Amino acid sequence: MKQPRAWQRMLSGRRLDLLDPTPVDIEIEDIAHGLAFVARWNGQTRGDFAYSVAEHSLLVTEIFKLQQPSAPVKWQLAALLHDAPEYVIGDMISPVKAAVGPDYEALDTRLTAAIHIRFGLPAQIPATVKRQIKKADKLSAWLEAVQIAGFTEAEANKFFGKQDPMLTEKLTIRLRAPIEVRDEFTKRHQQLMDAL
């Protein structure tokens, strides 16, 4: 019986095997392009452009740096890449991830490890750093929920936890054309790589 195709051809010409990803098949341009065109919230947001995973990743990196000002550059890079596997598997909302079960998490873990190795990070980042990035991720989700996804603050508090008003009041969601976000994501990645 013929095995189903498990690889995706990227615009760079690379073929990424989703079941057995290798760092040599990963290019930042493919990640930036894919994430810039993947909509968070299944596209159910206000505005002229979808709120992309690339834009979210830039915001999480900014929040992470605000919350962890002395964090090494490599963990800022990990924050930027925290959702990088979604360039090939898309952004599934939490209820869908729960329905898919552990197979989704295993796929995400394999892709994350390959991406991290490609850019000089450990395959698995320390649990403390992962929690810090998750904290920034939750603040980003709270901001997105309230500013563009139609949630009340009470609903956002229930799902994402009550957030520090000192931060929520000074952070604003940006909606931009995918090409613009892609270019900023690539530029930010290069800045972090240069600073390593």
Q: Could you tell me how many residues make up the chain?
A: 196
The string over 56-74, giving b where at least 16 C-beta atoms fall within 10 Å of a residue's C-beta and e elsewhere, is bbbbbbbbbbebbeebeeb
Q: Among 10-14, 95-99, 147-151, which is the least confidently predicted range?
A: 95-99
What 8-state DSSP symbol labels residue 16?
Answer: E
As a CATH number, domain 26-194 is 1.10.3210.10
The answer to whether residue 93 scores a pLDDT higher than 80 is no
Contact 36, 178 (CB under 8 A): yes
pLDDT of residue 53: 98
- How far apart CA 33 and CA 186 sit, in angstroms, is 9
pLDDT of residue 2: 77
Give the residue extent of every domain in the chain: 26-194
- How far apart CA 161 and CA 174 sit, in angstroms, is 22
Question: Could you tell me how many helices (H) and strands (E) the chain has, helices first?
Answer: 10, 2
pLDDT of residue 4: 79
Q: Among 3-12, 105-114, 151-160, which is the least confidently predicted range?
A: 3-12
**Strand 7-9 versus strand 15-17 pairing type:** antiparallel
- How far apart CA 110 and CA 112 sit, in angstroms, is 6
In the chain, at which residue ranges do the beta strands (DSSP E only) sit?
A: 7-9, 15-17
pLDDT of residue 144: 98
Lookup: tokens for 62: 């900014």
Average pLDDT over residues 128-143: 98
The answer to whether residue 63 scores a pLDDT higher than 80 is yes
pTM reported for the whole predicted model = 0.95
Contact 25, 16 (CB under 8 A): yes
> Which residues contact residue 13 at a Cβ distance below 8 angstroms, ignoring those fewer than 6 apart?
none
pLDDT tier for residue 91 given thresholds of 50, 70 and 90 = confident
Contact 36, 52 (CB under 8 A): yes
Lookup: tokens for 50: 């979808």
> Which residues contact residue 138 at a Cβ distance below 8 angstroms, ignoring those fewer than 6 apart?
160, 161, 163
The number of C-alpha atoms within 13 Å of 125 and in the hemisphere containing its C-beta is: 22
Contact 66, 188 (CB under 8 A): no
pLDDT of residue 29: 98
Q: Mean pLDDT in the chain?
A: 95
pLDDT of residue 133: 98
